[in-house]
Structure formats: structure tokens, C-alpha cells
């Protein structure tokens, strides 16, 4: 019998489904919508909620922020870290993963913040490791442009090595709380790290108590060959995109080979593929919803602008009814490759309309989509899916459709857990 799928949800602290009066999303910026969403996910026994983040107002599309702001594409976006504390306090088993860029945080500050959040969440915090892929983000931190991608990954490797040493600067038994001697922590078990690398230097130790998990869970998205090697070396869970079952299987197999080469057990690296299910009471209703979405005014422009925010490419100058020429980027090359479907002959308009198509039919009733998810994962070999919504327009209706419709359909097939057996996130990921 096939083992259950690991399930996560990819979202961010944005306005939600602001455009649809039938299913309004967040409504305001107090974070309560996301707390309620996380509680629904916990009832459905998801592994984790993943809070994506970026650090700029993109001007990639047309050389201005007009489309970005018009369609609320990644902007406005509030800082996910305070939201982590709110969700962690309101849940007890669900993992809470947040994005923090190696561009934005000095390593010591990131390690200290991550350790603090892991305590607040009771050992359920995860760090989504990103390097940031946009020059305009670099300019918000005093740089003219980002280093080349290969240099960014070399810096990120060193950065992660440094924060891991900081996480380990307190031994597991450093806190003794010996009332008789009046000793809270044993100074012989808390030590500086004296790290000095090519890019970073840090004395240490952390001034926070060791994390409940030893170190928070590491999550990463690696699309390019170098990115895959980085993710396989460090990540407990990988955010992946893929074109169809064959592409997803090839990606996962490649990541697992990289993990073995890095001396890791490949079963400790859980690959979750990003999907955008469109649900309805019937298959016909779901397909009608899909057609209304992709043919709605502004959808194509919004989709192209959205791709531009992560690839740092301006798609406004290309003919919508011609195939896209072969392109490279210093942004997210893996996202560009997935979007462009090189060699398919599809026009840019078709690519935009398929922007949220993972290559697996995810349009239908909960039972139909659950069946397809199970068949796909059986062919891929593991490990699960990250649920998301186009343009991050999450609504209460969609949360309910997934948590009270799709997940029960998966559970009836033995494809989703019905109860948590672990309390910490890394243990939940490694449960099966």
C-alpha cells in the first residue's frame, strides 16, 4: 500500500483573494486570517505552512511597478516572522516555515531569530533558505546588483555552515539549572565558534538557548543543477516545481542522488511539489472555474508580471502569440525553465495561461483530484505536495475546500495522515 503524502501549503502575508467578492481573503493586516487558516490545516494534519517572502517592489514587467501593484503581485507583503509567532502560539503540531534571505540578515541575527522562533513554536519552526534573485532587492540593502548565481550559492553554502555552527554552539546539556550551586548554564558547554570563511566571519556563541530541534528545519527550493546540489546538501524539505510526472520523478531522483553524494540519507530529504488545484463539487464546475480564471481580464498580464518578479525578466516586450526565445537569467533560472517549457512550441500567451499548471490535471472534484494526486505520487516515488493558489489569492472558501474536501478524500484513500504522531517538525517530516 502506498505511504501517505506529505502535505504543505505555500502562501505569503499578502492581501489574499481581494478581487473576488464571494470569497474574500485576509480582509485586513492583523494576521488573524492566516492563524485561522493554519488551525484548519492542523485539523487536516498538514506537515507545515510555508510563508514565502520577497524584499522589493518589482519593476521587472514593463520597467515599472504598475502591474506589480495593480494586481497585488507579491506586494503589498508584510514580514512573515511576526506571523510565525502568532501561528506558533495558536497551534500545537503544525510546522511553521518562514522565508529569510541570506542577503538581508547577518548570519548571527538569523540564527538567533530562528532559534527564538523554534522555541516559541515548540520545535516546529523551519527556515526557508533563499539568497534573493533580484537586483532591485539587492539595492534595498546597499548593493548595486546581486553577485552571479554561482557566487550566491557559494556564499549561501558558507552562510548555512556558519549558522549551523552557531546552532551547535550550545551543547544539548548546557542548561543545568542547578539550584544548589546557583548555576543556570554550564560555561564549559557553551563555546565560541571562531568562524572565518571567504565571505563571513563570526565569533559566536549564540546568546540563545539551543533550539528544541537542535537546529530548525531547513527548507529550500533548488531548480538549477547548482541549486539542487545546495538543497540536497542542506534541506529537510525541498520546494519543487516540475513539468508533469516524468519531470517531477527526474527532479526527485536527481535530488536524491545529490543527497547521497553529500553523505546524507536521501529519505531525510522530503521533496514537495508545488500544485494549484482548482476544486468544485463536480469536475464540470471545477473546469468552469478554471476557464473563468484563465480568461478573466488581466490574467495573462498578471501571470507574466508574476513570473517576472522571480525571474527578473521583462516579458512585456515579447509577442504574446509567438514562442518565447531561449532566455537565461541571474534570477530564478529553475522557475524560468519551468514556465517557458523550452521546445514545446507554445506561445507566450499559452505559457501564461498555463502558469499555474504543474503538468498534472488538478482540476476537478475533491475525489478526482485526490485520485490524480495519488497516481502521480505513486509514479514519482514521493514525497508530497505543496498546495498553493494563483497569485497567492488565498480565500476562506479555498481553505475549506482543501482542508474539508480534498484532504478527507486523500485520507479515505490512505494518502494523508489522520492524526499526528510527532510533536516536532523534523520528526513529522521523517515519520514516513
Look-up of cell digits 506571523: 83
Cell reading at 345: 512550441
pTM: 0.93
Do 99 and 191 form a contact (C-beta atoms < 8 A)?
no
Do 71 and 298 form a contact (C-beta atoms < 8 A)?
yes
Look-up of cell digits 533558505: 129
List per-residue pLDDT tens for the chain, 432 residues long. 578 999 999 999 999 888 876 655 556 799 999 999 999 999 999 999 999 999 999 999 999 999 999 999 989 999 999 999 999 999 999 999 999 999 999 999 999 999 999 999 999 999 999 998 889 999 999 999 999 888 999 999 999 999 999 999 999 999 999 999 999 999 999 999 999 999 999 999 999 999 999 999 999 998 888 889 999 999 999 999 877 999 999 999 999 999 999 999 999 999 999 999 999 999 999 999 999 999 988 999 999 999 988 888 999 999 999 999 999 887 788 788 888 989 899 999 999 998 898 888 899 999 999 999 999 999 999 999 999 999 889 999 999 999 999 999 999 999 999 999 999 999 999 999
- Classified by CATH at the fold level, domain 6-160+207-298+357-429 comes out as TIM Barrel (3.20.20)
3-state secondary structure labels for all residues of the chain: CCCCCEEEEEEECCCCCCCCCCCCCCCCCCCHHHHHHHHHHHHCCCCEEEEECCCCCCCCCCCCCHHHHHCCCCCCCCCHHHHHHHHHHHCCCCEEEEEEECCCCCHHHHHHHHHHHHHHCCCCEEEEEECCCCHHHHHCCCCCCCCCHHHHHHHHHHHHHHHHHHHCCECCCCEEEECCCCEEECHHHECCCCEECCCCEECCCCCCCCECCECCEEEECCCCHHHHHHHHHHCCEEEECCCHHHHHHHHHHHHHHHHHHCCCCHHHCEEEEEECCEECCCHHHHHHHHHHHHCCCCHHHHHHHHHHHHHCCCHHHCCCCCECCCCCCCCCHHHHHHHHCCCCCCEHHHHHHCCCCCCCCCEECHHHHHHHHHHHHHHHCCCEEEECCHHHCCCHHHHHHHHHHHHHHHHHCCCCCCCCCCCCHHHHHCCC
C-alpha distances in angstroms, 428 versus 237, 263, 268, 294, 377? 11, 22, 11, 36, 19
From CA 405, how far away is CA 282, in angstroms rounded? 12
From CA 148, how far away is CA 81, in angstroms rounded? 28
From CA 38, how far away is CA 94, in angstroms rounded? 8
From CA 408, how far away is CA 130, in angstroms rounded? 33
Cell reading at 376: 502521480
Q: What is the pLDDT of residue 163?
A: 98
From CA 405, how far away is CA 397, in angstroms rounded? 11
Do 258 and 224 form a contact (C-beta atoms < 8 A)?
no
Amino acid at each position: 500500500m502506498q505511504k501517505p503524502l506529505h502535505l504543505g501549503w505555500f502562501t505569503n502575508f499578502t492581501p489574499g483573494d481581494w478581487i473576488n467578492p464571494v470569497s474574500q481573503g485576509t480582509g485586513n493586516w492583523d494576521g488573524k486570517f492566516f492563524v485561522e487558516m493554519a488551525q484548519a490545516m492542523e485539523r487536516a494534519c498538514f506537515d507545515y505552512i510555508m510563508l514565502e517572502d520577497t524584499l522589493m517592489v518589482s519593476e521587472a514587467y514593463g520597467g515599472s511597478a504598475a502591474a506589480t501593484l495593480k494586481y497585488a503581485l507579491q506586494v503589498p507583503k508584510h514580514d512573515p516572522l511576526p506571523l510565525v509567532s502568532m501561528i506558533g502560539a495558536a497551534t500545537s503540531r503544525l510546522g511553521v516555515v518562514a522565508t529569510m534571505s541570506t542577503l538581508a540578515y547577518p548570519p548571527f541575527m538569523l540564527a538567533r531569530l530562528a532559534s527564538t522562533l523554534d522555541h516559541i513554536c515548540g520545535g516546529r519552526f523551519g527556515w526557508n533558505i533563499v539568497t534573493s534573485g533580484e537586483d532591485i532587492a539587492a539595492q534595498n540593502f546597499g548593493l548595486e546588483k546581486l553577485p552571479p548565481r554561482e557566487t550566491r550559492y557559494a556564499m549561501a553554502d558558507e552562510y548555512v555552515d556558519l549558522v549551523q555552527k552557531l546552532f551547535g554552539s550550545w551543547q544539548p546539556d548546557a542548561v543545568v539549572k542547578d539550584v544548589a550551586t546557583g548555576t543556570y548554564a554550564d560555561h564549559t558547554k557553551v563555546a565560541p565558534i571562531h568562524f572565518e570563511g571567504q565571505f563571513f566571519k563570526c565569533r559566536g556563541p549564540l546568546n540563545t538557548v539551543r533550539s528544541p530541534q537542535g537546529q530548525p528545519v531547513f527548507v529550500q527550493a533548488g531548480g538549477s543543477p547548482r541549486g539542487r546540489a545546495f538543497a540536497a546538501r542542506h534541506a529537510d524539505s525541498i520546494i519543487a516545481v516540475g513539468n508533469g510526472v516524468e519531470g517531477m520523478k527526474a527532479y526527485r531522483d536527481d535530488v536524491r542522488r545529490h543527497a547521497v553524494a553529500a553523505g546524507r540519507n536521501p529519505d531525510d530529504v522530503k521533496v514537495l511539489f508545488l500544485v494549484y488545484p482548482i476544486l468544485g463539487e463536480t469536475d464540470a464546475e471545477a473546469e468552469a472555474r478554471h476557464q473563468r480564471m484563465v480568461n478573466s481580464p488581466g490574467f495573462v498580464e498578471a501571470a507574466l508580471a508574476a513570473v517576472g518578479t522571480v525571474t527578473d525578466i521583462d516579458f512585456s516586450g515579447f509577442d504574446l502569440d509567438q514562442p518565447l526565445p531561449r532566455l537565461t537569467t541571474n534570477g530564478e533560472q529553475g522557475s524560468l525553465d519551468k514556465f517557458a517549457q523550452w521546445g514545446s512550441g507554445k506561445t507566450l500567451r499559452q505559457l501564461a495561461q498555463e502558469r499555474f499548471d504543474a503538468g498534472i490535471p488538478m482540476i476537478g472534484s475533491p475525489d478526482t483530484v485526490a485520485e490524480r494526486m495519488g497516481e502521480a505520487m505513486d509514479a514519482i516515488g514521493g514525497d508530497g505536495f505543496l498546495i498553493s493558489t494563483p497569485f497567492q489569492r488565498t480565500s476562506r472558501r479555498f481553505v475549506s475546500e482543501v482542508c474539508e474536501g480534498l484532504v478527507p478524500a486523500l485520507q479515505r484513500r490512505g494518502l494523508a495522515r489522520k492524526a499526528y504522531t510527532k510533536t516536532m517538525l523534523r520528526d513529522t517530516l521523517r515519520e514516513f
